[in-house]
């Protein structure tokens, strides 16, 4: 049997401790599958005394993960610390420069430094594996990098943040407010104490930027993503979406267009009958549309210790099965130096259907004025419905418009015009509609 593969785990939190536990519990199975043992020979975290629920005392302890990356007797450095700078970045860079394979679950690090790190890995002839960084346990990186050769991707989109999907699912199922759902998500451990990163779309954007690079062979451009979170979504939107045959999801979408590549993260209306609309709770899903394959949808657990550990272990097993001298494939599908600069399509030229919800004074002429603003901007409407607002706000009406395909620029101009006309009594709500099978 080949020599054991020695791994060093940096970070023994939710994911790191699960990885250590699975490597222990599934040791015999992994040895059979990989043809060699996998042993944890070094570990690093902040607190050496903390009970991790798994005994790692046989492994050499390092207070400093960078030292572990440089001097420990390891073949694979597993980074599960998190963060786009500091110890995560320094230790991954050090491990690659020392000629060690790296496995990471860190989307923030890859979104910011992925291409630079890939260049080092490719120069050194080692692997930088990151299956767990996008959609947790769903094998989307392998699928896009290895199983879709020859396919040209037109669009990739997905539900990439379990916290947001959990909140939107409960808002719809139970008719409760965004704030109440968020509080519950925090109590149940599905949302952080500071949820901004998840609910405002940053986490989805990091993951999307990695998928975009794989889909279109471009350099990662996480700062060039149009981003809107879900904190403005109300029960009125959820109910109106349902009445119109849609469900609201926070999607990350990357799409090839004539003017460049669109990368956008925003609440989106998808047809209730579509497959992606059936993805509920903390579950993630990624849809990939290509010229040869058509549309593929992968869905499954996007976070959590075990699901994420499953992807990390898969990456380790790939390294265990590779043989010395074997030429590894490039990190982002194409050699890092050949990744093209990202050509951004302006959001204003985005084309699609729009849902517009307006709360207006209940006065004669308002409805006609709204219809005129739409017509002036060449927006053709699929439906326009008005309802009286009950209760205290009886002098108001809600007008809900659904457009046929138009542009973002036209919608913004029309809504700005309606706002200037002075008919609105509340902020207008605009939600993009996404085609989905």
Ligand X SMILES: NC(=O)c1ccc[n+]([C@@H]2O[C@H](COP(=O)([O-])OP(=O)(O)OC[C@H]3O[C@@H](n4cnc5c(N)ncnc54)[C@H](OP(=O)(O)O)[C@@H]3O)[C@@H](O)[C@H]2O)c1
Q: Does 139 bind ligand X (CB under 6 A)?
A: no
Q: How far is the CB of 231 from ligand X (least distance, A)?
A: 21
Q: How far is the CB of 221 from ligand X (least distance, A)?
A: 20
Whichever of 45 and 424 has its CB closer to ligand X, that residue is 45
> Which H or E run contains 319?
helix 305-321
Whichever of 44 and 129 has its CB closer to ligand X, that residue is 44
Q: How far is the CB of 55 from ligand X (least distance, A)?
A: 15
Among 8, 11, 114, 353, indicate the residue that binds ligand X (CB under 6 A). 11
Interface stretch with ligand X, choices 110-118, 274-282, 300-308, 386-394 (CB under 6 A): 300-308
Interface stretch with ligand X, choices 7-15, 190-198, 241-249, 272-280 (CB under 6 A): 7-15
Q: Does 111 bind ligand X (CB under 6 A)?
A: no
The Cα angle at residue 307 between residues 305 and 313, in degrees rounded to 5: 90
Q: Which residues are catalytic?
A: 207
Among 267, 304, 333, 353, indicate the residue that binds ligand X (CB under 6 A). 304
Binding mask 71-110 toward ligand X (x if CB under 6 A, else -) reads ---------xxx----x-----------------xxx---
Q: Does 45 bind ligand X (CB under 6 A)?
A: yes
Burial of 149 (0-12, 13-18, 19+ CB in 10 A): exposed
Among 2, 29, 35, 46, indicate the residue that binds ligand X (CB under 6 A). 46
Interface stretch with ligand X, choices 12-20, 218-226, 330-338, 398-406 (CB under 6 A): 12-20
Q: Does 303 bind ligand X (CB under 6 A)?
A: yes
Burial of 412 (0-12, 13-18, 19+ CB in 10 A): middle
Is the Cβ–Cβ distance between 209 and 332 less than 8 Å? Answer: no
Whichever of 284 and 396 has its CB closer to ligand X, that residue is 284
How far apart are alpha carbons 359 and 378 in whole angstroms?
22
* DSSP 8-state code for residue 58: T
Q: Output the 3-class SS for 380-401.
A: CEEEEEEEECCHHHCCEEEEEE
Q: How far is the CB of 15 from ligand X (least distance, A)?
A: 4
Among 41, 44, 263, 406, indicate the residue that binds ligand X (CB under 6 A). 44
The Cα angle at residue 212 between residues 143 and 196, in degrees rounded to 5: 110
Q: Which of 399, 388, 416 is nearest to 358 (CA)?
A: 399
Whichever of 107 and 350 has its CB closer to ligand X, that residue is 107
Burial of 425 (0-12, 13-18, 19+ CB in 10 A): middle
Q: Does 34 bind ligand X (CB under 6 A)?
A: no
Whichever of 3 and 47 has its CB closer to ligand X, that residue is 47
Residue that is written with structure tokens 């490039």 in the block: 330
Whichever of 207 and 256 has its CB closer to ligand X, that residue is 207
Q: How far is the CB of 46 from ligand X (least distance, A)?
A: 3
- Sign of the four-CA dihedral 333, 336, 339, 343: positive
Whichever of 132 and 370 has its CB closer to ligand X, that residue is 132
Total residues binding ligand X (CB under 6 A): 25
Is the Cβ–Cβ distance between 414 and 369 less than 8 Å? Answer: no
Residue nearest to ligand X (CB): 13
Lookup: tokens for 338: 């050949």
Residue 74: how many CA atoms within 13 Å on its side-chain side?
A: 35
Is the Cβ–Cβ distance between 75 and 2 less than 8 Å? Answer: no
Binding residues for ligand X, per CB under 6 A?
Answer: 10-16, 44-47, 50, 65, 80-82, 87, 105-107, 132, 136, 303-304, 308
């Amino acid at each position: 049997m080949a020599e054991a593969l020695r791994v060093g785990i940096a970070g023994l939190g939710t994911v790191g401790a699960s990885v250590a536990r699975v490597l222990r519990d599934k040791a015999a199975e992994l040895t059979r599958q990989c043809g060699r043992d996998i042993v944890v020979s070094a570990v690093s975290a902040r607190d050496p005394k903390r009970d991790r629920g798994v005994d790692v005392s046989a492994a050499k302890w390092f207070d400093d993960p960078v030292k572990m990356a440089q001097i420990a007797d390891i073949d694979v450095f597993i980074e599960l610390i998190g963060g786009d700078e500091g110890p995560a970045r320094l230790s991954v860079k050090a491990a690659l420069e020392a000629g060690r394979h790296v496995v990471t679950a860190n989307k923030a690090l890859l979104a910011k430094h992925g291409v630079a790190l890939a260049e080092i890995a490719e120069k050194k002839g080692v692997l930088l594996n990151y299956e767990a960084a996008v959609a947790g346990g769903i094998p989307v990186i392998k699928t896009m990098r290895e199983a879709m050769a020859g396919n040209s991707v037109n669009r990739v989109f997905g539900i990439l943040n379990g916290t947001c999907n959990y909140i939107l699912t409960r808002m719809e199922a139970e008719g409760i407010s965004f704030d109440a759902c968020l509080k519950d998500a925090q109590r149940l451990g599905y949302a952080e104490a500071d949820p901004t990163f998840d609910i405002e779309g940053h986490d989805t954007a990091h993951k999307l930027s990695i998928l975009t690079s794989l889909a279109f062979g471009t350099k990662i451009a996480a700062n060039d993503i149009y981003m809107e979170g879900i904190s403005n979504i109300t029960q009125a939107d959820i109910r109106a979406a349902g009445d119109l045959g849609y469900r609201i999801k926070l999607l990350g979408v990357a799409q090839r267009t004539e003017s460049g590549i669109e990368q956008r993260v925003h609440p989106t209306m998808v047809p209730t009958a579509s497959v992606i609309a059936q993805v509920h709770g903390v579950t993630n899903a990624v849809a990939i549309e290509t010229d040869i394959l058509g549309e593929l949808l992968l869905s499954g657990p996007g976070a959590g210790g075990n699901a994420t550990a499953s992807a990390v272990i898969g990456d380790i097993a790939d390294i265990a099965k590779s043989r010395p001298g074997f030429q590894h494939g490039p990190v982002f599908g194409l050699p890092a130096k050949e990744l093209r600069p990202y050509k951004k399509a302006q959001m204003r030229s985005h084309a699609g259907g729009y849902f517009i919800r307006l709360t207006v004074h209940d006065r004669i002429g308002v409805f006609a004025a709204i219809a005129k603003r739409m017509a002036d901007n060449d927006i053709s409407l699929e439906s326009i419905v008005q309802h009286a607002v009950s209760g205290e706000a009886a002098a108001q009406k809600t007008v809900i418009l659904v457009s046929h395909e138009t542009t973002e620029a036209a919608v913004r101009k029309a809504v700005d015009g309606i706002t200037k006309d002075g008919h609105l009594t509340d902020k207008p709500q605009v939600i993009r509609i996404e085609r989905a099978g």
